[in-house]
Amino acid sequence: METALHGSLSMSGQLLIVDYGMGNLWSVQSALRYLGRDPVVSSDPAQVAAADTLILPGVGSFHKAMDALHAQELTEALAEAVLGRRRKILGICLGMQLLAEKGTEDGECQGLGLIPGSVDRFTREELGLLKVPHIGFNHVSATQQNRLFKGIASPADFYFVHSYRLLAADLPGEPGLCRYGVEFLAAYEHENIFATQFHPEKSQTNGLKLLNNFLAC
Amino acid sequence: MLSRNFRLQRVGNLEWLQRNYNFAHIAFFIDELTVLDVTRGERNPDAFCDALKALTAGCFVPISAGGGVRSVAQASQLLRSGADKIVVNSPLFDRPGLVRELAQEFGQQCVVGSVDMKRDRAGGYRIITESGTRLVEQEPAGALYWLNEQWVGELYLNSIDRDGTGQGYDLALLDQLPADCSVPVIMAGGVGNGAHLAVGFADSRVDAVATAHLFNFVGDGLQRAREALVNQGARLAVWPALSELAVALNESMATA
């Protein structure tokens, strides 16, 4: 199999994909390997707490995911790595949503509290005739300040599949925006917290570039 | 595997595909990939999942997989092997309960309903299942009732007669769908060149155009077809060329 990069990047430290039983780990792994990295996939709280760089993927229900993170003692491990040791984390799709304060899917519950706001379903008023889930490629706009979008056109196309969304109101960090009936938070970054509602590992070269930007910053 | 009027042609294994059809290159010109296990007789799901993982390792778009899916556990295995969506065919007609279960377990958007149709002697259309061996008795509009049941997120509609012929889509298949079908339609069967893709796209009932003809994976035909569609105003996703990415990645390596 050919890869775009030859040799390895000189960055040190363990790149870890958090496995809590939900999410297409293989695709995320494949994308990172394509970029010349060798990620570890782990559900071990000790490894997660000690990791250098974290990726939190996710597909499915917010509530089920938070239950899984709690049950596997991963919430404390993530707090240690991200808040304690200030390591950088990228939340993807449901993984982005889990970084929020709370979610209302399958009953309200607390998220990891790293991004202000609540994850709620697209409303009928917002959607009009549009259907849920929001599925397919859509345009994402970002600014010069967004480290994730360095060297990526604005707007650029990324692949979405979700029924719930965060809105972009009053956030301390830099948003990436997309419109689906309503303008919602497509990406976010603030200090060591990074997140995308879209799937960079499913967004062809735009996504690979974004993943590489995350790894490099 | 290339299919021609539902007679399978063995073309080679994964390495052969990668060597001869430059799949690693083509993968950057498609929006989505569908991989089906069309093995006749006893299937080996583990071997298929291994092949799926290898094939999709360099493919950074949504991936649908299926062929012989008969349980939620099997679907789960596919989803762990790189698939984002599950394709089901025969169960739509002989085990609809399974399709409903898959939608409940993984979400409606995770299920793709695949339907093969062929013309009958009277000039009408019939649905055909079980690798082309079983005709569904009921006329298509009735047999496709499940399109309104919220079990299936997309419909992959294939013409058995045109499949592998390179003669273009049989758009009359679209007339067989229930009138109020709101499920997005992926048209398949018969693409020989980029013009056929454009014809499919021009029909407002078609939401996506598919080709399985490996000939379309040779050279830059698919790339040129995509560019032509975009230039004609088709609202396709756009992303930079792989060569641009490679330059950017090498630059970031140099500064790391």
CA–CA separation, A141 and B143 (whole Å):
44
At residue A5, the pLDDT reads 45
Q: Which of B62, B244, B249 sits opposite A159 (nearest CB)?
A: B62
Q: Per DSSP, what are the bridge partners of residue A40?
A: A16
Question: Would A7 be classed as within a structural domain?
Answer: no
At residue A7, the pLDDT reads 39
Q: CATH number, domain at A19?
A: 3.40.50.880
Q: Which chain A positions have a beta carbon within 8 Å of B81's beta carbon?
A: 26
pLDDT at position A1 over 50: no
Q: Which domain holds residue A132?
A: 15-216
Share of chain B above pLDDT 90, in %: 55
CB pairs under 8 A between A and B: 106
Question: Would A8 be classed as within a structural domain?
Answer: no
**Annotated catalytic residue A93:** yes
Q: Which of A2, A26, A161 sits opposite B81 (nearest CB)?
A: A26
Question: Would A125 be classed as within a structural domain?
Answer: yes
At residue B179, the pLDDT reads 81
Active-site entry in A105, A174, A189, A201: A201
Question: Would A141 be classed as within a structural domain?
Answer: yes
Contact B61 A159 (CB under 8 A): yes
- Catalytically active residues of B are 116
Q: Which chain B positions have a beta carbon within 8 Å of A156's beta carbon?
A: 239
Contact A35 B107 (CB under 8 A): no
Torsion of CA B241, A95, A197, A38, to 10 degrees: -10
Q: Please write the tens of the pLDDT for every residue from B119-133.
A: 998 989 999 998 788
Question: Would A93 be classed as within a structural domain?
Answer: yes
Contact B82 A33 (CB under 8 A): no
Active-site entry in A6, A76, A199, A217: A199
Contact A205 B80 (CB under 8 A): no
pLDDT at position B2 over 50: no
Looking at residues B126-145, what average pLDDT do you find?
Answer: 91
Contact B240 A205 (CB under 8 A): yes
Note the ipTM here: 0.86
Contact A24 B242 (CB under 8 A): no
Count of structural domains, chain A: 1
Question: Would A2 be classed as within a structural domain?
Answer: no
**Annotated catalytic residue A190:** no
Contact A205 B239 (CB under 8 A): yes
**Annotated catalytic residue A199:** yes
Question: Would A50 be classed as within a structural domain?
Answer: yes
- This prediction has a pTM of 0.89
**Using H for helix, E for strand and C for coil, what is the string for chain A?**
CCCCCCCCCCCCCCEEEECCCCCCHHHHHHHHHHCCCCCEEECCHHHHHHCCEEEECCCCCHHHHHHHHHHCCHHHHHHHHHHHCCCEEEEECHHHHHCEEEECCCCCEECCCCEEEEEEECCHHHHCCCCCCEEEEEEEECCCCCCCCCCCCCCEEEEEEECEECCCCCCCCEEEEEEECEEEEEEEEECCEEEECCEHHHCHHHHHHHHHHHHHC
pLDDT averaged over every residue in chain A = 92
Share of chain B above pLDDT 70, in %: 88
Cα angle B143-B103-A22, degrees, rounded to a multiple of 5: 155
Q: Which chain B positions have a beta carbon within 8 Å of A204's beta carbon?
A: 28, 60-61, 237, 239
Looking at residues A169-186, what average pLDDT do you find?
Answer: 96
**Domains located in chain B, CATH noted:** 2-255 (3.20.20.70)
Q: Please write the tens of the pLDDT for every residue from A85-132.
A: 999 999 999 999 999 999 999 899 999 999 999 999 999 999 998 988
